[in-house]
Amino acid sequence: MSATESLRETALSPAHKTLGAKMVEFGGWNMPVSYTTIMEEHKAVREKAGLFDISHMGQIFVSGTGAEAWLNILLTNDIRRISHGYGQYTLMLNEAGGTIDDLIVYRIEDQRYLLLVNASRIEDDFNWLDRRKNINVTVENLSQGFGGLALQGPEAETILRKTLDEEKRQIKRNQLLITPFLGLDVILTRTGYTGEDGFELFCSNEIILKLWDKLLLDGKNYGLLPAGLGARDTLRLEACYPLYGHELSSTISPLEAGLKNFICFDKPEKFIGLEPLKKQRNKGLSRRSVAFEVVGAGAPPRANYPIMKAGVQVGEITSGGHSPTLKKGIALGLVELAHSEPGTQLEMIVRERSVPVQVVKKPFYRKL
Amino acid sequence: MNHPENLHYADSHEWISVENGIGTVGITDHAQNALSDVVFVDLPKLGKVVKQKEPSATVESVKAASDIYSPVSGEITEVNSHLSSSPELVNSSPYENGWIFKIKLSNPDEMSSLKNVSAYLALLGK
C-alpha cells in the first residue's frame, strides 16, 4: 500500500497522535507500532499492564435457530462444548484443509454468536460465511461500528475493576460479559494475545476514546502504558501464538501449525476441510511449525529466512525477532518433520551467511 | 533531536565526518529514534570496497532489519567492534560511541552530494 490516504484510521487515532505514536500499516489500517519503545511496552505488559488499540479486528455476528449446527460445519472446534457467555479458539478452513482464518467464537446466546476475526481477513471471512448461509441463519458484519481495546498484564484485572466500577461479577478465562459504560454496552472478554492474563473490550466507536482515556488514567498508578503492534507481536511470538499470514495461511493447515487441540474430528457435523485434514493426519505430516532460538550472538531471525541442514533447505522462518524477555533471537518456522524435534541443530540464512539455530519446545514463555 | 553542525548527512539518514581522507560513518539521531531498540549490528568486513549508496552494514531493531548505505565510496578500514556486545550504543550515542564503520574515501568529490545540517533538517521537515 503506497498512499497513506487509503489507510483506514481507528476511532482512537486522535489519542495515538497526541501520544506521538509511531504508526505503521497493518491489514489496511494505520496503526500504532509503538508509543515509546517496543522493549518498554513489552516489559510493561509482562510486569504491569499494557493497553492496545485493537479496533482493526472484526466482529461478525451469526444468529438464528440454525446458527449452532451451521457454525459447527464452518468451524473446526466443537461449538457445543461452550456454554452461554463463553468463547473458544477455532479455525475456519477451505475445502483443501488450508486456513481461511483463526478466530474466537463466543456463544452470546444459544441463537446468537460473535466471531472475533483478524483485521486482514474480515471481508474474506464474511463472504465465505455469507455465501454458505441458509434460511435459518443470519450473518452480519458489524466491524465498522465497533472499536476494541486489549488490556493485558498482571495488573489488568485491578485496573479494569476501577474503570468499570459497577463490574463486580467474576469473569473467567474465555468468558464474555456485557457491561455498561457511559450508558452503552461494552462486550468484555477475558482473553488476549500476549501470554498474560487480560481482557479484550469491544464497544461502539462513540465511547471508545473515553474508555481508552479512563483506563489509562485509572491504570497510571499501576504502571499501565499504551502499547503498540510492535510489542503485541513480540509478546505473541514469545507465547507462540500463530499470526495469520505467517504461521497460518490458505496453504498451511492447522495440523501443520500444531493446532490439533482446536480441531474436533469426531463431532456429528462434518466441518469444511475435515477430509483433507483426516488424510493428512492418517498419512502423517510432512512439515510442521516449530520454535527456534538463535545459538550464540547472531542476528535476529526474520520471516522468510531459509532454514538449512548441511547445506540443504529444510524449512523457512514464518515469524521472528528479538525476544525482550529472553534477550535473544527467537522464531517460529515450518520445517520438514525429520528436523522438527527439540534439540535439533539447524542453520538459518541471514544476508547470505549461515547462523546456527536450535529447535526448542514451545512456547518460549508461559504464564497462563 | 540532536543533529550536529559539523557533520555531512545522506538522504538515507547516515552521517559522515572526514579527517585525513578517512570518514567515520553512523546513523543520525532521527534514524536511531525511528528504528528504536537496536539489538544487533551486522558490521562490514575490513578491507571491503563499497560504492556510494551501497548497503554496507545492517542495523536490526526488535522489529526489523534496516540497511545502512555508505555515504561515500571507498574501502572499509575499521569497524566499531563494541557494537557486537553493545548494539544499543547506536541508540544512546549515535554520533560518538555508536559510530559504525570507518572508510578510506576513494572519491572525495562525492562529499559535495551530501547535505549540511540545515539541508538535512529541511529533509526531515524541521
Model confidence pLDDT, tens digit, residues A176-218: 999 999 999 999 999 999 999 999 999 999 999 999 999 999 9
**Spatial contact of A162 and A210, defined as CB atoms under 8 Å apart:** no
- Determine, for residues B40 and A322 on separate chains, whether the beta-carbon distance falls below 8 Å: yes
Average pLDDT, chain B: 96
Instruction: Evaluate whether residue B2 is within a structural domain.
Output: no
- Give the residue-averaged pLDDT of A331-346: 98
- Determine, for residues B36 and A38 on separate chains, whether the beta-carbon distance falls below 8 Å: yes
Probe site for chain B from A24, A25, A39 (most B CB atoms < 10 A):
A39
Q: Which domain holds residue B100?
A: 8-117
B88 touches chain A (CB under 8 A): no
- Give the residue-averaged pLDDT of A216-242: 98
Domain count across chain B: 1
Instruction: Evaluate whether residue B111 is within a structural domain.
Output: yes
CATH classification of the domain holding B79: 2.40.50.100
Query: Model ipTM?
Result: 0.87
Instruction: Evaluate whether residue B125 is within a structural domain.
Output: no
Instruction: Evaluate whether residue B122 is within a structural domain.
Output: no
Q: Tell me how many degrees the CA angle A188-A189-A194 measures, rounded to the nearest 5.
A: 125
Q: How far apart, in Å, are the Cα atoms of A131 and each of A137, A161, A283, A351?
A: 11, 41, 32, 45
- pLDDT confidence tier of residue A140, bands split at 50, 70 and 90: very high
Q: What is the pLDDT of residue A230?
A: 96
C-alpha cell at B67: 540497511
Probe site for chain A from B1, B35, B39 (most A CB atoms < 10 A):
B39
- pLDDT confidence tier of residue A6, bands split at 50, 70 and 90: confident
C-alpha cell at A323: 525476544
Instruction: Evaluate whether residue B96 is within a structural domain.
Output: yes
* Burial class of residue A301 in the structure, from the number of CB atoms within 10 Å of its CB (0-12 exposed, 13-18 middle, 19+ buried): buried
Contacts of A33 in chain B (CB under 8 A): 63
Q: What is the pLDDT of residue A368?
A: 78
| Weakest-pLDDT range from A165-169, A182-186, A303-307 | A165-169
C-alpha cell at A194: 500476549
- Determine, for residues B36 and A34 on separate chains, whether the beta-carbon distance falls below 8 Å: yes
Q: Which of A91, A29, A54, A291 is nearest to A193 (CA)?
A: A54
Size of interface A-B (CB pairs under 8 A): 47
- Domains and their CATH numbers in chain A: 4-56+144-238 (3.30.1360.120), 286-360 (2.40.30.110)
Grid coordinates 510432512 are at which residue? A286
Separation in Å, CA of A91 to nearest CA in chain B: 27
- pLDDT confidence tier of residue A297, bands split at 50, 70 and 90: confident
Probe site for chain A from B36, B38, B56, B59 (most A CB atoms < 10 A):
B36
Nearest by CB to residue B36, choosing from A37, A321, A324, is: A37
Check whether A261 has a pLDDT greater than 60: yes
Provide the 3-class DSSP secondary structure of residue A281.
Answer: helix
Q: Residue type at A142?
A: L
Separation in Å, CA of A118 to nearest CA in chain B: 20
Contacts of B37 in chain A (CB under 8 A): 37-39, 322
Separation in Å, CA of A26 to nearest CA in chain B: 14
Q: What is the pLDDT of residue A167?
A: 60
- Give the residue-averaged pLDDT of A306-320: 97
Instruction: Evaluate whether residue B13 is within a structural domain.
Output: yes
R_g of chain B, CA atoms, integer Å = 13
B1 touches chain A (CB under 8 A): no
- By C-alpha distance, the chain A residue nearest B85 is A297
Instruction: Evaluate whether residue B123 is within a structural domain.
Output: no
